[in-house]
Structure 1
């Protein structure tokens, strides 16, 4: 099931694929979206079976999270294909995830990259115990990416967030990384404000407006 909200599809400059975390659902992403400022975007939020995209920690070897991980990556692919059919080509789609959803999207972008309009990763990183090579081909060149986390988050270690940001940079993305002090698994007001800036700038770019993408 996919939940939609925001600007009507016919008037939206961008689509945002909003992917929830473990033990959450699209309602969490919709509530969080209210913390973002206004932007001409339509949100599309898929729901994971049992409210989890894969069973174990994202730091476990990839095979331990199979076959659920591959199934969830196919959900992301199917959502992007559906958005393209609805008129939102990859260059008009921003990927936004929190926690397990951010991990799923980070892994998707780094292992099967598409030329998206932007990337917002709140407290997540690529999946698996082994390092990932950066994607080649320049698909992510110039893609704005907001990466945010908390210093001592109980589930997502700082080093994996930093490693993910570095992989995105090496793949050509324009990464804005910030890790705030704290011990809670939360999304800060600053993270929401910066994500809003990305959305409004990407929407202006998609509509042919002036200025940089980010």
Structure 2
């Protein structure tokens, strides 16, 4: 199971008024995803990147039945929940907590925030969608109250079907997130400069 191993960077809590939780992809690492921060306007943020056991948050595709990815999926969500609780305990309010993930980390980002919808600073999903063999609406509750969300993906993407991205955007929108979705033709499974620009302008714009 996952243990809470978090790499911290940026301003330390106590000094920072904003926090960014960064979730790496399958086969990636906390250090990898933290490297993205240098391309984003988050100099004044406290940065937190949890590390998945064996570099993967759950063993199978995010499109597998959730029970097939247990207990890892629940464990991953619990790590994020505990980290958010720690950030709040340090004095940073939910509306100043931001989330960002790539690939498997983007799926986990969307799954976490949609299960725990609230007014957050914002969320960025670089190639991801809500988790499951279908969308389990009963798992999602709360109100995003206008939280800005950016979701970018490739058409096609080898791991994340566009229809799941579209369906995820609709769920978040219905829960009052302000979602900007961009689909890039034949981008491949990566992050492009336009996505970085979109995230910088839409999500971190007040930094």
Task: With the length of structure 1 as denominator, give the TM-score of the two structures.
Answer: 0.88
Provide the C-alpha distance between the structure 2 equivalents of 1:91 and 1:183, rounded to a whole number of angstroms. 32
For 2:197, the equivalent position in structure 1 comes to 193
Instruction: Point out the more displaced range, 31-40 or 143-152.
Output: 31-40
For 1:58, the equivalent position in structure 2 comes to 62
For 1:105, the equivalent position in structure 2 comes to 109
SS of corresponding position for 1:87: coil
Cα gap change, 1:164 to 1:24, in 2 (>3 Å): same
For 2:129, the equivalent position in structure 1 comes to 125
SS of corresponding position for 2:204: helix
Write the mapping of 1:1-214 to structure 2, written as runs, cut at 5 A.
1-133=5-137, 135-137=140-142, 139-203=143-207
Provide the C-alpha distance between the structure 1 equivalents of 2:186 and 2:97, rounded to a whole number of angstroms. 31
Provide the C-alpha distance between the structure 2 equivalents of 1:182 and 1:22, rounded to a whole number of angstroms. 21
Provide the C-alpha distance between the structure 2 equivalents of 1:42 and 1:199, rounded to a whole number of angstroms. 16
Task: With the length of structure 2 as denominator, give the TM-score of the two structures.
Answer: 0.91
Provide the C-alpha distance between the structure 2 equivalents of 1:194 and 1:90, rounded to a whole number of angstroms. 22
Q: Deviations over 1:151-204 (max 9, x none)?
A: 11111111111111111101100011001111521001111112122343344x
Provide the C-alpha distance between the structure 1 equivalents of 2:134 and 2:206, rounded to a whole number of angstroms. 33
Aligned length: 202
Deviation (angstroms), 1:132: 2.8
Q: Deviations over 1:86-108 (max 9, x none)?
A: 11121110011111011111111
Q: Does the CA contact (< 8 Å) of 2:95 and 2:120 recur in 1?
A: yes
Gaps of 5+ in 1: 204-214
Provide the C-alpha distance between the structure 1 equivalents of 2:18 and 2:198, rounded to a whole number of angstroms. 17
Q: Does the CA contact (< 8 Å) of 1:29 and 1:45 recur in 2?
A: yes
Deviation (angstroms), 1:12: 2.4
RMSD: 1.7
SS of corresponding position for 1:129: coil
